């Protein structure tokens, strides 16, 4: 019996050097805030309290950015196409429930003129019969690979 198994792995994730710099900034700013607010450094500086609050604010903002980036990175998983279903994250969709699949360009218009497009990104759209839509961005996945693998998987006898 023919067994079809294909795994499409993302080629990048949001957890990169910038993420680690944000985490380092968070740690440094929170430590600096603690040292400034408890009079351990710069005792004679008049604006010590203001500088401590500024470091605390930067630390909290970078903590929020790092947590939200980590949560977003958890949603970018491998797409596994098996004999009768496609699986990604916690979703498992049988092939018979897939209504259509296609690559769609998303054009971002300029804020100043509707005739000027500033950026175009591609997304792979997977629609199911119950009208749920799953999107895979070209930032993380290869669109041609996904299209060819899905075309081959959906042609298989069910």
Q: Taking each helix axis from N to C terminus, what angle separates 17-37 and 48-74, rounded to the nearest 10 degrees?
A: 150
Per DSSP, helices labelled H in 12-136 are 17-37, 48-74
Longest CA pairwise span in the chain (Å): 80
Q: pLDDT at position 2, please?
A: 57
Q: pLDDT at position 1, please?
A: 45
Residue from 11, 2, 4, 1 nearest 150 by CA:
4
Cα–Cα distance for residue pair 30/59, rounded to 1 Å: 5
Strand order in the sheet with 133-137: 98-109, 117-128, 133-137
pLDDT tens, N- to C-terminus, the chain (158 residues): 456 788 999 998 889 999 999 999 999 999 999 999 998 888 888 888 899 999 999 999 999 999 999 999 998 999 999 888 999 988 999 999 999 999 999 888 777 777 776 778 899 999 999 999 999 999 999 999 999 999 988 886 55
Residue from 76, 98, 68 nearest 86 by CA:
98
Residue from 106, 113, 110, 92 nearest 138 by CA:
106
Q: pLDDT at position 84, please?
A: 87
In a 10 Å sphere around its CB, with 0-12 CB exposed, 13-18 middle and 19+ buried, how is residue 116 labelled?
Answer: exposed
Half-sphere exposure of 136 (CA within 13 A, CB side): 27
Write down the pTM of the prediction: 0.76
Q: pLDDT at position 5, please?
A: 84
**Domain limits of the chain?**
17-74, 96-155
């Amino acid at each position: 019996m023919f067994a079809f198994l294909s795994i499409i792995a993302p080629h990048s994730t949001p957890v990169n050097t910038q993420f680690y710099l944000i985490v380092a900034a968070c740690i440094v700013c929170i430590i600096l805030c603690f040292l400034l607010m408890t009079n351990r450094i710069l005792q004679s500086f008049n604006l010590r309290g203001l500088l401590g609050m500024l470091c605390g604010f930067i630390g909290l903002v970078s903590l929020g950015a790092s947590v939200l980036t980590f949560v977003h990175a958890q949603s970018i998983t491998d797409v596994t196409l098996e004999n009768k279903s496609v699986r990604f994250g916690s979703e498992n969709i049988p092939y018979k429930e897939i209504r259509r699949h296609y690559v769609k360009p998303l054009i971002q218009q300029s804020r100043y003129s509707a005739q000027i497009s500033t950026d175009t990104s591609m997304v792979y759209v997977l629609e199911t019969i119950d009208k749920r839509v799953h999107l895979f961005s070209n930032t993380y996945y290869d669109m041609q690979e996904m299209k060819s693998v899905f075309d081959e998987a959906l042609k298989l006898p069910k």
